[in-house]
Amino acid sequence: MKQYFPYYHHLRAVKWPFLTGVIFGLVYAVASGLGLPLMTKVVFPVLFQAQSVEGKPYELWIRGMLGAISRDNLLLVTCLWIPFIFLIRAIAGYANSYLIQYSGLRILELIRIDLFVKLQGLPLSFFKKNRSGDLLARLMNDTEILRQVLAQGSSDIIKQPATLISALGFLGYLAVKDRSVVIALIALVTVPVCVSVIRYAGKRLAVRARMLQARNGDLSATLAESLQSPLEIRAYNLEKRQISQFRERIREMLMLSMKVVKYRQAISPSIEVVASAGFAAALYSGVRNGMTLESFMTLGMALYMSYEPIKKLGNIHSLFRQGGAAVERIEFILREPDSLLDPVVPKPLRGPQNSIRFEHVTFAYDADPVLRDVDVEIPVGQVVALVGPSGAGKSTFASLIPRFYDPQAGAVRIDGVDLRDFAKKNLRNHIAVVPQMPALFAGTVAENIRIGRLDATDEEVIEAARKAHADEFIRSLQGGKGYQTQVGERGDQVSGGQRQRIAIARAFLRDAPILILDEATSALDSESETMVQQALAELVKGRTTFIIAHRFSTITIADRVLVFEGGRIVADGNHEQLRAGNAIYQSMMGGQGIQ
Q: Return the CATH number at 536.
A: 3.40.50.300
CATH of the domain at 68: 1.20.1560.10
Query: Where would I find the H helices in 67-189?
Result: 71-121, 124-129, 132-137, 143-177, 179-184
pLDDT of residue 375: 95
Q: Within this chain, do residues 308 and 378 fall inside the same structural domain, yes or no? A: no
Q: Within this chain, do residues 52 and 115 fall inside the same structural domain, yes or no? A: yes
Run of H or E including 357? strand 355-364
Instruction: Give a yes or no: residue 420 inside a domain.
Output: yes
Whether the Cβ atoms of residue 198 and residue 267 lie closer than 8 Å to each other: yes
Q: Within this chain, do residues 404 and 316 fall inside the same structural domain, yes or no? A: no
Secondary structure of 384-445 in HEC code, one letter for each residue: EEEECCCCCCHHHHHHCCCCCCCCCEEEEEECCEEHHHECHHHHHHCEEEECCCCCCCCCEH
Instruction: Give a yes or no: residue 399 inside a domain.
Output: yes
Phi/psi region, residue 469 (left: phi>0; alpha: psi -120 to 50; beta: rest), is left
For residue 129, with 0-12 CB atoms within 10 Å meaning exposed, 13-18 middle and 19 or more buried, which class applies? exposed
Reference 560, options 376, 382, 374; nearest CA is 382
Q: For residue 432, count other CB atoms closer than 10 A to its CB.
A: 26
Instruction: Give a yes or no: residue 247 inside a domain.
Output: yes
Sign of the dihedral defined by the CA atoms of residues 388, 390, 394, 395, in that order: positive
Distance CA(49)–CA(72), nearest Å, equals 12
Distance CA(247)–CA(272), nearest Å, equals 38
Q: Within this chain, do residues 48 and 19 fall inside the same structural domain, yes or no? A: yes
Strands 514-518 and 409-414, bridge-based pairing: unpaired
Q: Within this chain, do residues 254 and 376 fall inside the same structural domain, yes or no? A: no
Query: Where would I find the H helices in 229-292?
Result: 230-235, 239-288
**Own/partner pairs, 152-156, CB within 8 angstroms, 24+ separation:** 152/319, 153/316, 153/319, 153/320, 153/323, 154/100, 154/101, 154/103, 154/104, 155/96, 155/97, 155/100, 155/101, 156/312, 156/313, 156/315, 156/316
Please list, residue by residue across 86-112, b when 16 or more beta carbons sit within 10 angstroms of its beta carbon and e when fewer do.
bebbeebbebbbebbbbbbebbbebbb
Q: Within this chain, do residues 242 and 369 fall inside the same structural domain, yes or no? A: no
Q: Within this chain, do residues 378 and 465 fall inside the same structural domain, yes or no? A: yes
pLDDT of residue 594: 45
Contacts of 54 (CB under 8 A, 6+ apart): 41, 42, 45
Q: Within this chain, do residues 359 and 326 fall inside the same structural domain, yes or no? A: no
What is the side-by-side order of every strand in the sheet holding 417-418?
A: 369-379, 355-364, 409-414, 417-418
pLDDT of residue 422: 95
Strands 568-573 and 383-387, bridge-based pairing: unpaired
Instruction: Give a yes or no: residue 1 inside a domain.
Output: no
Domain end residue (candidates: 279, 299, 334) = 334
Instruction: Give a yes or no: residue 343 inside a domain.
Output: no
Chain length of the chain:
595
Distance CA(120)–CA(334), nearest Å, equals 11
Range of the domain at 416: 355-591
Q: Within this chain, do residues 303 and 234 fall inside the same structural domain, yes or no? A: yes
Domain end residue (candidates: 281, 300, 334) = 334
Instruction: Give a yes or no: residue 327 inside a domain.
Output: yes
Rg value, the chain, Cα:
36
pTM: 0.71
Q: How many domains does the chain have?
A: 2
pLDDT of residue 595: 45
Q: Within this chain, do residues 177 and 99 fall inside the same structural domain, yes or no? A: yes
Q: Within this chain, do residues 267 and 188 fall inside the same structural domain, yes or no? A: yes
Instruction: Give a yes or no: residue 493 inside a domain.
Output: yes
Q: Within this chain, do residues 203 and 321 fall inside the same structural domain, yes or no? A: yes
Instruction: Give a yes or no: residue 508 inside a domain.
Output: yes
Distance CA(106)–CA(111), nearest Å, equals 9
Reference 362, options 515, 544, 566; nearest CA is 566
Contacts of 556 (CB under 8 A, 6+ apart): 575
Reference 62, options 46, 48, 86, 38; nearest CA is 46
Secondary structure of 162-209 in HEC code, one letter for each residue: HHHHHHHHHHHHHHHHCHHHHHHHHHHHHHHHHHHHHHHHHHHHHHHH
Distance CA(402)–CA(410), nearest Å, equals 16
Query: pLDDT tens string for the chain (595 positions)?
Result: 566 666 667 778 888 888 898 888 888 878 877 777 777 766 666 666 654 444 466 666 766 777 677 767 777 777 777 788 888 888 988 888 888 888 878 888 888 888 888 888 888 888 888 888 888 888 888 887 777 777 666 667 777 787 777 777 777 776 666 655 555 566 666 667 766 776 777 677 777 777 877 777 777 777 777 777 776 777 778 788 888 888 888 888 788 878 877 877 777 777 777 777 777 777 777 667 766 666 667 777 777 777 777 777 777 777 777 778 788 888 888 888 888 889 999 999 988 888 999 999 999 988 789 999 999 999 999 999 999 888 889 999 999 999 999 999 999 999 999 999 999 999 999 999 988 888 888 888 999 999 999 999 999 999 999 988 888 888 988 777 888 988 876 666 777 778 888 888 999 999 899 999 887 666 566 666 777 777 778 788 889 999 997 777 778 888 999 999 999 999 998 888 888 877 878 877 765 544 4
